[in-house]
């Protein structure tokens, strides 16, 4: 499995090595991984589903190792070999992934006509694009797993769903690793949902009591 996903030591991955802490006393990563795989099985994720989940996580880690250098004031991938694994895991061609990381499409409308122009990114913009892609992949994976859990909890004649109450907070350290990146995203996502549900409940209460609100 490690060979299939291209998994190496934590220190190899940019998203994991920024904190300088790769081992936690009292934490058994192998045992935790087995429990996670078992939990996915309990939640009715097929072997293919579980494989796809692990591929996405591995692809995110590999994406973080894609570096850029300047070529005529524009960004290019420093070592194209680092595109191989994330492209393979995401089912993409390396050339397509390279294009999406170093360019963007700009649409302009003039006289009722729409023109599309390919704009080459700077190194800074390419880094932001890489990290945005990693975050988007993680976000969609998070939503997918929550939906699968809620689906597995459905029972005939009753509706059940998981609920999480999170403490407000977004932490930024001098060096932010992949783990903190994930924690911050989940915190912000849950906080957003909690606020939306709270406001909706308050608005419904105002309506029921005939209270005007803006």
In this predicted model, what pLDDT tens digit does every residue of 84-128 receive, in sequence order?
999 999 999 999 999 999 999 888 887 778 888 889 999 999 999
* Poorest-pLDDT segment among 148-152, 189-193, 209-213: 209-213
Integer Cα distance of 164 and 153 in angstroms: 15
**Shortest CA distance to 214 belongs to which of 205, 203, 200?**
203
- Position 172 scores a pLDDT of 61
Q: Which pLDDT belongs to residue 201?
A: 78
Q: What is the mean pLDDT of residues 140-149?
A: 90
As a whole number of angstroms, the distance between CA 65 and CA 63 comes to 5
Which of these ranges, 59-73, 107-121, 151-165, 174-188, has the smallest mean pLDDT? 151-165
Question: With contact defined as beta carbons under 8 Å apart, do 37 and 50 qualify?
Answer: yes
pTM (two decimals): 0.72
**CA 73/CA 162 separation, integer angstroms:** 49
What span, in angstroms and rounded, lies between the C-alpha atoms of 174 and 116?
40
Q: What is the pLDDT of residue 80?
A: 94
Which pLDDT score, from 0 to 100, does residue 24 have?
A: 80
Give DSSP secondary structure letters for 63-93.
Answer: HTT--EEEETTEEEES-GGGGHHHHHHHT--
The per-residue pLDDT for 89 is 95
Q: Using CA atoms, how far apart are residues 161 and 190, in angstroms rounded to an integer?
A: 14
> What's the angle, vertex CA 69, arms to CA 2 and CA 82, rounded to 5?
15
Please give the mean pLDDT across all residues of the chain: 85
Give the pLDDT score at 41. Answer: 92
Top pLDDT among 149 and 69 is at 69
Tokens (6 digits) for 189: 């996502």
Statement: residue 174 has pLDDT above 60:
yes
Residue that wins the pLDDT comparison between 93 and 189: 93
20: DSSP letter:
S
Mean pLDDT for 23-36 is 88
């Amino acid at each position: 499995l490690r060979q299939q996903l291209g998994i190496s030591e934590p220190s190899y991955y940019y998203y994991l090595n920024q904190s300088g802490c790769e081992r936690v006393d009292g934490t058994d990563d192998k045992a935790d991984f087995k429990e996670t795989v078992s939990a996915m099985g309990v939640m009715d994720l097929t072997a293919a589903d579980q494989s796809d989940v692990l591929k996405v996580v591995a692809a995110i880690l590999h994406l973080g190792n894609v570096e850029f250098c300047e070529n005529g004031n524009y960004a290019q991938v420093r070592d194209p070999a680092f595109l191989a694994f994330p492209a393979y895991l995401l089912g993409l061609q390396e050339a397509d992934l390279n294009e999406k990381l170093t360019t963007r499409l700009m649409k302009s409308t003039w006289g009722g006509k729409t023109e599309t122009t390919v704009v080459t990114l700077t190194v800074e913009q390419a880094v932001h694009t890489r990290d945005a892609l990693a975050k988007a992949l993680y976000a969609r994976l998070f939503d997918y797993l929550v939906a699968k859990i809620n689906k597995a909890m459905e029972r005939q004649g009753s509706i059940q769903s998981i609920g999480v109450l999170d403490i407000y907070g977004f932490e930024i350290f001098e060096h932010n690793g992949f783990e903190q990146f994930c924690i911050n995203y989940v915190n912000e996502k849950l906080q957003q949902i909690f606020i939306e549900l709270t406001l909706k409940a308050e608005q419904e209460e105002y309506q029921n009591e005939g209270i005007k609100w803006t």
